[in-house]
Structure formats: structure tokens, C-alpha cells
Structure 1
Amino acid sequence: MANRHARGAVAAPQRPVAVDLFSGAGGMSLGFEQAGFDVLAAVDNDPVHLAVHERNFPHSFALCHDVGTITAETIHAAIGKGWSLAQRESEWDGVVDCLFGGPSCQGFSDMGRQNPDDDRNNLVFAFARVVRELKPRSFVIENVPGLLFPKVRHHLELLQAELKVAGYRLAEELPIVLDASGHGVPQRRRRVFIVGVADGVDLPRRPAATRSPTVAEALDDLPAIEGLDALLTSDRLTMTASMVEHMVTSSSAYARSLRTRSGLEYERQWPEEILTGIQRTVHQPSVVQRFRALEPGAADTISRTHRLDGGGYSPTLRAGTGRDHGSFTAPRPIHHRLPRVITVREAARLHSFPDWFSFNTAKWHALREIGNAVPPRLAAAVADTVVEALRAKRILPTRVVELGSDALLEHSLGTAADHFGIDRASLTPDIRRSRS
């Protein structure tokens, strides 16, 4: 295994290199970037979500590919292209400092049926295969707590055995269980992380807990959208000077951090008066009446949607299901002050995505992109311990990144496939719920 830190090696300091498998829109990508990694390649088989990643990370190469069949050579080539996009001055030495990602977890989820025979369960072994072939200095696998349950526990044991045979040591024998609400995210969301390192790398420590903001701290500076008829069909608002001033004067420290650089990520060039993801949802008067009557934290008896508590944390934001499992839309929480469900931007705020980060303009796609993502600040908490274990330089980049084309946010599945040169016939079949 190559080691750029071998005795006698002389090279200019550089940010450690990482690759995101099962990247989706890029929650983990952003968290690892905030911790000091250069995420030079992102791999996902959903072209709609990958197009969103390309828009928000134009300095990373987006590769639309099935992780189950991808080769180390293909990933190496993608990193080389990402190296060029990142405008590195030197040549890449071939070392991958960290491979990270969250394989599909629906087969393990305690919210579903916990089917041990779900084909998606095998994606964790696809990740292990890539680790074995790519030989990164470290890896991070994210998944749901259901991975620890007896019904699917044998998958975890087999996975850990494969990783150990490949020559890696695990940070802890059992996966690290973290709640996003303990790591700067205003949302209760428990996730497990399997962290491993190669010989010569320190074992990472468990991330230390930090204070998280409340729902009100996350949302209350956002401009009122009620009465703005343009937002019935558009998800984009050009804010007036008074709206911008209101955000500046009324925002919490958390909200301000989502509009500025909060870590070691690349600064993005974006028009701060533009706010995306705020298309309105119109409810029937009877629904508005029910929502208005709900107490904080209570659930609506018909929609089963919970009302947010401004002084607490959001419940876990769900993604719903994809085309291959019925295209179900997950319920959105009800705003803590207003009788309506939250917008895409409000969901992004509760997930710790910054305001420059945009999602697909279709709500169904956007909410899946958020619900499937690891909250960036939770990912950053884990990534920070990996940077420390790698003894890598923590470098604040001076380059300002210009975001990709907004057209990347408007793709349907078919046009996104065309963008990445994918045969539409190879896309996941659309299995709709049968109707009587």
C-alpha cells in the first residue's frame, strides 16, 4: 500500500484525498470536505441525485455507476479527473486517504420490514470489496442502527470479518452509534459508523458530543413565504433587501453558520439573496385547522405527521421510497409556528445543509435527497477523527468554487441519465403502488 508519509518523502502539504460511494446529493461529501478532505470523486447509480452532487461539488468528479460492479481502476480514473477539477498543482501520488459512504439501508431499517434477504443488503459487501481492491488508508461505512439487530446481525459479522481479512483494524468492535442531535444538528437521527484503518494509521477516537441548535434556532430567520404566489410553482425566491436584513439581524449563530463557511470546506460563490427549496405547499382549510390545533410534538391523527417543537429537535426526516419500491413520499413535519408542513429549505436547515446547497426542483426528489443523506455536520464529526488518525494536514482552502449550472437541479430521471451518458433502459424500473 502506497504511503505518501513514508520516511524521507518530501512533498508540499496537501489535503487528504477521499472518495464518496453511494454519494446521493452529497451530505457525507460536504461533511468530509468540512473536516479537511478533498472529495475528488463521487459515485452513485441515481443520475438525478448525482446531478445535484455535480452542481454543488463542481470540483469533484461525478461518476454514475453501480457500486456493485465498479472496479478499482474505474475509481482511480475518476479520482484523476477529480484531481484536475480541483486544480491541484502537483500530480496525484495514487494514495486514497479515505473511502466513505452509506450503502442503501432499507433492508436493515427498523422503520421497514427488516428483510434479511433484501438484495440491497448486499451493497455493504460491495463496499467491502471496493475497500479490498482500492486499498484506502481508511474507510467509513454509514448505516442505520437496525444493522445491529439480531435479525440481520449476521450481515454485520460477515462484513466485519471481510474487512479484517482485507487487513484493516476497526475503531471499535461494534459500530459507533451516534445521534445527529449530539453533533450540531437540530434533528434526532441515530446512525451507525464502521470506521477502519490500514496498518500504520492510528485508530480513530469516538467523536465527542457537542451542543445542537433547536428547531427555532434553525428556522426562525427564514423569510415568510405565505402570500407569495410565485412560490406556488417555483422553488426559488430572490429576496428583497429587507428580507436579507431580517435574516442577518434575527438569525441564530447556527443559522448564520449555514450562510458562511463553517469549517474547512471550499467557499462557494453564490448570490446570497437567492433562496431555493421554498416552494409552497397548499393545504385544504380543514387540514390547516387541524394543524393549527396541534400542540408541539403532537401527531396529526389523520396524516400521522408530527408538529415540530421550536424548543427541541426535529424527529428523523424520512426519505420515502424510490421507484423500485413504490415511490412513496415520506410525511414532512409540521412547522412549529405555522399550520403547514415544512419546505425543502427548512428540511435542509434541520439537516445542517448550508443555504448555498440546492436540491432538485421537484419536491419528491429533493426530500429524498435530504432524507437519504447523512447530515453534513454529523459526517464532519466522524471525518474529523479520521483526519486526526491519518495525521493529515488541516488546510483551509483559498480557492473559491463557483457552483455548477442550475440546470443540473431540474433534471428528470431520463434527462439526468442522458446527461451522464446512461442508457435509459438500464434505469431502475418504476414500480407504482397498485390501485384498486
Structure 2
Amino acid sequence: MSIIVTGGDGYLGWPAALRIADRTDDRVVLVDNFARREWVEEIGSVSAVPIASIDERLDAAEEVLGLSNLSFVEGDLTEKSFVDQLLAVHEPEAIVHAAAQPSAPYSQINGERANYTQHNNMQATRNLLWGLEEQDMTDTHFIETTTTGVYGAPEFPIPEGGATMENQGERDEVPFPAMAGSWYHLTKSHDAANLRLANSQFDIPISDVRTSIIYGTEVEETRQDPRLKTRFDFDYYFGVVAHRFAAQAVAGYPVTIYGKGEQRKPFGSLEDAVEGLARLGVMDPDEREDDHVVYNQVTRPISIVEVGETIAEVAREHDFDVEVEHFENPRDEDETHQMEIENDRYLDLIDGQDVTFREGIEDVFETLTDYEGRIESHEDRFLPGVLEPDE
């Protein structure tokens, strides 16, 4: 038997695969087509942290961490024949599906990239779910990283999964409506609906892990050797807001906040995210709460201005002279929205483990100070407008 981790070369998939492999004797099969490396190169950027080849990574995992149960398969999950062969050969007891085109800005560049994002993300999920059904593997625990972005920014507390709807005096729990704000986020809204359908029609046990804004450079496993590092994107298209702010500080730029920046967004550390996926990946069937569970993979909502100010404070402690500056907001958003989001189920999953935002950012600067030149040579990638729609 085996556990498959898709997106195994990625920011979250790679360290999650290392931790899963450390907690099981099963074969852990990483699957990737290296598209993330290609997308970032396409928009003219790089990972601030140099990333080893997959062969070098696997060698280091065995030599340094003693993990001899990791293997890698290169392939495109949008090709059904590849997925069918993957499942037939490895017969997974669990699949951690972390492969996707994850950038909302990238999906918004033009129609071609919107189409690509939606086809890539949804086709991969459908192929995996139908492959399990058609090959009689419906006991396989299917764990997918969707996104808290499916919720949008409602004015009421966001539930951890469904919502209660009342009409003409009758009440029932219904799936949370898709309120996503980008072509990327809608792929995860559709995936969430397809996951629910696969559970209903095929009885596949589903864990829908709605991932927040994940920040950080290290987990316990990646600290052990440079070859084990995970990627760190800082450009406008693939760098999350906390990573962009940190890279701006390292490059001598002010931390740029759009508008007031008082809106709160959901955040979680890389360490916490990896821990949650690892526990789900090796979870025994009798430990599962239900056969379809939604987790809000977030430890706390934080305002963008608090993110910026915390990053500036930590940057100064590392001898970077940085200020926080506010710019006109190019986005149509409520700059004062105070998000509330339920996350009790997720905190129970990770046993209350909680890396604070400041702790995670201190880790980021410990890493990025070694790569100032790499960031400065790509500092024109911080802001939008550097990639023309027809490029």
C-alpha cells in the first residue's frame, strides 16, 4: 500500500510528504509535473530560496532524514491515462492532493490563463476521483487542499464547512455558497462541490482542507540540509502577501499596503499546515470524524496592516531599514472587513499546535538574509503590470 502526495515538488506538498514519510512505513509517492517551476520562470521570477532537483531532494531525504520510503513519479494529472496507471500501480490508501495552479493573479492575467487554471485544477481532481471509483478504490481517503477563498468575505462568521439555511420556516444545512473572487478560487469552489458529490455517489471518504494564506520558510525536516528546502515565492503573481512584504524589506523597499489595510485575512504557518496534512495522510479510518469533513486550515485572521507592521518590526531587528507605506488600492475590496472564521475542528486536528505569526516571520528573515542578492535581482517582480497580457 502507499500514500500519494500530488504537488510533491511544491511549497506545501514537499514538506508535507517528508513528514508523512516519517510517520508511516508505507511507500510515499510524490507526483508532480514541475509546472510551478515553469510558471514562476514564465513571469520572470525565481524562488528566493534555491530549490534542489527532485533527485537531489530524495537523496537528501534518505541520507539526512533516513527516509527510504519516498519515491517520485513525473506526470500530468490532467491526463486520465496517467492517473489511471498511477492508481493501478500504487493502490493508495490515502491521497493528499496538493497539486494546482494556486495563483489568483496569474489566473486573472487573460482568458488563456483563466482557461488553463480552471482546466488544470478541476480536471486533475475529477481524474483522481473517477479513477478511484472506476478501479474500485473507494476506501481511499482523499484529502485535498482547497482554499478559504471559496468563502469570499461575508459579514457573518464563516462556518467550518456547511451553513444553515432557513426558508419558509424550514431549516437545513447546505454547502457554503461559492463566493470566490477569482478564476483560481472558483476552481476550488467547484472542486469542493465535486468532492461532496464524490462522497455522495462513490462513498469516497473526503477531507476538504480549506487552506488559508500560508507563510514561512522552514519546518523541522527542511532545516536539516539545503537540499531539503522548500520554495519561497515573493513575486506579485505567486508570492503571498506576507512573503512579498518580507522580500520587499530585504530588498530595501517600503512595505506596500494597499489602502487602509484594516481588512482581516485568514493566515496559518507552514509548520501548522504541514502538521495537519501529515495527520490526515496517516489517519486510521476509525479516527475520522465523518466520511466528509471540512477543515478551515487557519490559525487566526490577521489584518493586512498588522502583517505589514509586524514584518517591518522583525526586519528592523535584522538590520533592515524599512518603513510601512500605504498606496491607493487597485482592488475592489472592503478595506475594513473584519473576518471571523471558525477553526475548532482544524485546531483539534493539530492538537492546538499554533506557530504565531511573529514566530513564522522571524523564521522567514533568518532564511531570506542569505538570499538578498537573489531577491534584489528580481525586485521588479514585486508589483503588478510587469507581465503583459499577451506575453
Q: Name the TM-score, length of structure 1 as normaliser.
A: 0.36
Give the number of the structure whose residues are more often strand, by fraction.
2
Larger Rg: 1
Q: Name the TM-score, length of structure 2 as normaliser.
A: 0.40
